[in-house]
Structure 1
Amino acid sequence: MDSGTENTDGKDVFISYSHSDSKEIAKLLGQELSSMGVEVWLDDIKMSIGSSIRESIDDGLTQSEYGVVILSESYFEGTSEWELNGLVEKHTNEEDVILPLWHGVDHDYVYQQSPSLADLIAEEIDKKNVQTVAASIYQIVEDRGGDNDEWGGDIGGGQKTDFIDIDIRFQGRFDPEVGKEVTVESWRNHNAPNLTALEATEIRDEDREIDYTSSSKGTIMTVKRIDDEPLNGIISDIQEIRSGKTEFTIRVEESRLEELSDDRDDYKSGFVQ
């Protein structure tokens, strides 16, 4: 996702967290964001007594547009109120660049540590809602420069972007890589309009700018090849790679699928009655 700045090496977001109790959730969040096309940098500083959270976030925001701060019990350990209030000051002065998340803590706990930090709009995060939180962050990044109305589950009228995973089968040479952007330029689908798995006939690797064409010609009784409904997404998983065959998953905005026709005749071959 284009950072919208002159720093072409910058990231969309960086994630600051405590290695003691939030490393796993931070990694999952980073993976979800990457599979949505968000450029992520995970803060590699181990928060401990004497660590400067303010300095860490200052450094992160010089290379990223937004800072996602996962607040947990161990995140507060050894952190001064001055440090925590500094986050609020940075958030206010730099127009909502910090997106707080509560992991294993609630408003009362955060308030006891820092009343000013507790006043910032935050979302709770755990293993069950990582993708939903990632979608909220995606929306903020996509609407870069606007108000963060989508942030916080109980405020604002913004509608979060939803994603759906589509399993892709491809017959021929192709080198998929998780996190890479691809466009399925043409495809065959045996279960239209329920698009959950399809056979790609042409794939565009957007990062490498390479086009791949399937060696499979299909059969006379198969559904017809769809050439005018490209599907763009990020590779989120790889099931199998072997000579002449690849199976992987791409994550696509659900709104794109809603644009596809519901008429089975638009997908069926004329040979199928």
Structure 2
Amino acid sequence: MSTGEYDVFISHANEDKDAVVDALAQQLEALGVDVWYDDDQIQIGDSLMDSLDEGLSGSQYGVIVLSENFIDKNWPESELKALMQRFQQDDVGIMPLRYEIPHQAIVDSYPLLSDLVSRPIAPDMIQDRVQEIYNVVKQEPEQLSGDWAGGANSEEDSRTEFESITVTIQDRPQIDIGNKFTVKKWKTSDRPPISNISATELYDPERDLTYSTGSAVTTMKEMKDYPLTGMVSEIDELGSSKAVFEMQVSKSQLDTLPDDRDDYTSGLVR
């Protein structure tokens, strides 16, 4: 696989941004995937052609969101042709996604893509597609033919699956979407599957910063031996003394949590 500045170039029609493309790009970035996406990379005064050329030439994979809007426009098709040229010459991986069209429409409109498996995308499928693209980009199966979303030649155990949990901390961390955090100590009233936790110690490895709650919660039972590491995917609240955010955590971490109800009940330490 060729190397580049970006992991993924997303080719799409502008009309599909609000429905699926914006969320797709944002969630990929939240998991640490470097995405070339025109909303992020093209600034006022930039040459559109030069900017797209940079994205196409500097990306290892092309994700193509194909739809009726895409098929009806000439500009996305020029991106597709450039991606296909790189696919043939530079071994760049292409992952077609179809939005509200059948696979046959892709075959009819773009015969060059007929040998590639396409995957459906819709607002309620975005997290599944994000996880699949993450596995291709970060774990690099041998080929993208067949089921590119993990690959028929990939071991099932090698795939990384993510789940979203809501994290609350009585502190104000420096936080943005895509930041990586380790919740070293936490408590929750839930049992597996965990969906909400209250962090009492939050570590930022990139800045080597630790955030801790005040003494008012130190008497509460904490999960000290089960740290959770993940990426911020959404910020729900960021006040002067409280932060609430969504964090994508690998399912393998959650699978190691104990099932004992007492371990998931907040209360005074005995």
**What's the TM-score, normalizing by structure 2?**
0.79
What SS does structure 1 have at the residue aligned with 2:142? coil
Aligned to 1:232: 229
Matched, 1:60 2:55: yes
Secondary structure, in 3 states, of the residue corresponding to 1:173? Answer: coil
Give 3-state SS (helix, strand or coil) of 1:142's partner.
helix
1:168 paired residue number: 167
Taking the TM superposition and a 5 Å limit, the aligned residue runs for 1:194-205 are: 194-205=193-204
Which residue does the alignment assign to 2:45? none
Quick one: distance in 1 between partners of 2:53 and 2:261?
Answer: 54
Unaligned runs of 5+ in 1: 47-51
1:49 is aligned to none
Cα-to-partner distance string for 1:164-216 (whole Å, 9 max, x where unaligned)? 11111111232321221111111122234442211111111233332212214
Distance 1:178 1:84, change over 3 A: closer
Q: 1:129 aligns with which of 125, 128, 135?
A: 125
Structure 1 residue 134: deviation in Å? 1.0
One-letter amino acid of the counterpart of residue 262, structure 1: D
Pairwise CA RMSD of aligned residues? 3.4
Asked if the contact 2:145/2:151 (under 8 Å) is kept, the reply is: yes
TM-score, normalised with respect to structure 1: 0.79
Check conservation: 2:141, 2:150, Cα contact below 8 A: no
Post-superposition offset of 1:236: 1.6
CA distance in 2, matches of 1:270, 1:87: 57
Cα offset for 1:29? 0.7
Cα distance change, pair 150–28 in 1 and its aligned pair in 2 (3 A): farther
Output the amino acid matched with 1:100.
P
Q: Distance in 1 between matches of 2:266 and 2:122?
A: 45
Partner of 1:72: 67
- For 1:38 and 1:86, how far apart are their aligned partners in 2? 22
Deviation at 1:151, TM superposition (A): 4.1
Check whether the contact 1:68–1:98 (CA below 8 A) recurs between aligned residues. yes
Q: Which amino acid aligns with 1:234?
A: M
1:144 corresponds to: 140
After superposition, the Cα gap between the structure-2 partners of 1:202 and 1:146, relative to the gap in structure 1 and judged at 3 Å, is farther
2:217 aligns to what SS in structure 1?
A: coil
Contact (CA 8 Å) 1:85, 1:117: kept in 2 or not? no
1:22 to 16, 24, 47: 16
Amino acid across the alignment from 1:119: D
Cα displacement (A) at 1:70: 1.4
Higher helix fraction: Structure 1 or Structure 2? 2
Change (3 A) 1:139 1:260: same
Listed one character per residue, the Cα deviations across residues 81-140 of structure 1 (whole Å, up to 9, x for unaligned) are 998566444324433522111223222222222222222222121222111111110111
Contact 2:6 2:55 in 1 (8 A): no
Letter of the 1:78 counterpart: N
Match status 1:182 vs 2:152:
no
Q: Check the 8 A contact 1:81/1:114 in 2, yes or no.
A: no
Aligned length: 258
| 1:258 positional shift | 0.2
User: Where does structure 2 lack aligned partners over 5 or more consecutive residues?
Assistant: 43-47
Conserved 8 A contact 1:172-1:214 = yes
